[in-house]
Amino acid sequence: MLDNLTQRLGKVVKTLRGQARLSEDNITDMLREVRMALLEADVALPVVKDFIAGVKEKAVGQEVIGSLTPGQALVGVVHRELTELMGGQSVGLNFATQPPAIMLMAGLQGAGKTTTTAKLGKWLKERQKKKVLTVSCDVYRPAAIEQLKTVAAQAGIDFFPSTGEQKPSAIAAAALDYAKKHYYDVLFVDTAGRLAIDAVMMAEIRELHAQLKPIETLFVVDAMLGQDAVNTAKAFADALPLTGVILTKLDGDSRGGAALSVRHVTGKPLKFAGVGEKLNGLEEFHPERMASRILG
């Protein structure tokens, strides 16, 4: 995939072939192409600006070694920086707590929280032999509770019932009590999302967080949101001490610029990626692969 960008850079620096160093002069035009590539991938503009400034600093003065063209050398620097910025290595879920390990799922309605809860539960059950319980605190949409019940059954994990008449805090307390008494390793708490950022939703999830003190507070965000992911991510990161991000719908046609934007805004690791509607459509997040995809 990076060949494309290398070719594009090659076109703007044809005359510079054979230069021994990346200089301020020869990288300016190339960085314009990198900037275009990032914007085409729908990375938010302020994030692109910061990133390009950082790369420029790193790249100027670097020697172009051996048979590399300046374009190849710069793509190498950009790719490394992008990978680093997205966390370098893949990062798993944290279980360093007294069981049950509570995972609080946060995000807007439609982001993929409920689907991802079932996917992750299935993953943990099948790959790590964890005993998993799920509960929905979405008292506004009974359909959401039903949906979790359905997908949990499909995933082969347990579901703790709740109703629209209960308070989210009471549901969470009852589920936690049940999870402790029945020796669950993991309790997923699915929460109510709204179509847009909403003060009531944020206050409610903050209260749930204070009550449950989850080991993981996972922000679930739709990759197709592109640049708009920035505002959503900022609102959730300001309201909650997030511990990780899950980027969904990467099977869509987005180049995944949201990954970089969300990482930049939250400073938290992207832990998993949703890559399909089916319950096995989940992958660990790989910064290096994502960098290639974003650069296109």
Binding site for ligand GDP (CB under 6 A): 107, 109-115, 193, 248-249, 251, 274-277, 281
Q: Judge whether 17 is annotated as a binding position.
A: no
101 vs 221: CA distance, rounded Å: 22
Q: Judge whether 250 is annotated as a binding position.
A: yes
Q: Judge whether 128 is annotated as a binding position.
A: no
Least Å distance, CB 252 to ligand GDP, is 6
Q: Judge whether 92 is annotated as a binding position.
A: no
105 vs 84: CA distance, rounded Å: 26
Q: Judge whether 29 is annotated as a binding position.
A: no
Between β-strands 244-248 and 186-190, what pairing exists: parallel, antiparallel or unpaired? unpaired
Tokens of 68: 């590399």
Least Å distance, CB 192 to ligand GDP, is 9
E runs forming strands in 69-152? 101-106, 132-136
CB closer to ligand GDP out of 71 and 112: 112
Helix (H) or strand (E) holding 114: helix 113-128
Distance, CA of 225 to chain centre: 12
Least Å distance, CB 240 to ligand GDP, is 16
CB closer to ligand GDP out of 10 and 107: 107
Class of residue 230 by CB neighbours under 10 A (exposed 0-12, middle 13-18, buried 19+): buried
Least Å distance, CB 275 to ligand GDP, is 6
Residues at the binding site are 107-114, 190-194, 248-251
* Residues contributing to the annotated binding site for GTP: 107-114, 190-194, 248-251
